Each structure stands twice: as C-alpha cells, then as structure tokens.
Amino acid sequence: QITMKESGPTLVKPTQTLTLTCTFSGFSLSARGVGVGWIRQPLGKALEWLSFVYWDDAKVYSPSLRPRLTITKDTSKNQVVLTMTNMDPVDTATYYCVRKHPQSAADYWGQGTLVTVSS
C-alpha cells in the first residue's frame, strides 16, 4: 500500500523560507522511472505543479517559480524535501506531495498541508 504524507509549518511570515517534507511508503524512489514531487492549490482555485525529483536525482521545476524552489530526496529515509524561499501571501495554498508514475501521471497523493503566509 502506497502512502504519501506532507509535514511542515502551517504558518510562515512573508519573506521567510518554507520547508516541506514528504514522507512516503510502499515504493522506493530508487525504482527506475519513479518521481516524487509537489503540486499546490490556493483555496478555491486550480492546481499548480511545482517540482519533481526522479529516481536518478534528475530534477524539474516550474519555470515561473524556479528561482525560489529547491527539491531534494533522501532515498534511505523515503523522504523528499521542498524549500521555497521568499514566501508571499499569494503562496498561501494547500501543498500536496505526489508520486509520479514512471510513464504517466500523479497516481498517489498525500492529504495535503495548508500553508498560510501572513505576518
């Protein structure tokens, strides 16, 4: 059984750095083709893809957010960490950790974690 779970702060101040951790189970991030990453959703709005890290440590980022994002993996701990710098109130959203199937879409999602950016 595959599970994904997000953890991190629920409230950050403007200009601070957000660090989110995804802890997963039921698969290995060393399996060929597998990726883990992040998608966010402001309240009442559509989904926005942020980043993936792959089994071979390849990384892809949203071009619009690339200067602010860093994604890393710890295969031994089954964890992926996303950092986002210079947080702004417009970054307030639910952040989801997802698994990317080797040949297709995001097939497993965490429950999401709501991050509010406010002073």
Partner 1 sequence: DIQLTQSPSTLSASLGDRVTITCRATQSIGSAMAWYQQKPGKAPKLLIYDASSLESGVPSRFSGSGSGTELTLTISSLQADDFATYYCQQYETYPWTFGQGTKVEIK
* Residues in touch with partner 1 (CB under 8 A): 46-49, 60, 62-64, 96, 101, 103-107, 109-112
Torsion of CA 83, 81, 95, 8, to 10 degrees: -90
DSSP sequence for 29-49: TTSTT-EEEEEEE-TTS--EE
Q: In the complex, what is the shortest distance from the CB of residue 76 to partner 1, in angstroms, rounded to a whole number?
A: 26
Nearest to 111 by CA among 97, 92, 91: 97
Complex with partner 1: residue 16 or 21, whichever CB lies closer: 21
Q: In the complex, what is the shortest distance from the CB of residue 41 to partner 1, in angstroms, rounded to a whole number?
A: 8
* Alpha-carbon span 58 to 52, nearest angstrom: 8
Q: In the complex, what is the shortest distance from the CB of residue 107 to partner 1, in angstroms, rounded to a whole number?
A: 5
Complex with partner 1: residue 19 or 108, whichever CB lies closer: 108
Complex with partner 1: residue 64 or 86, whichever CB lies closer: 64
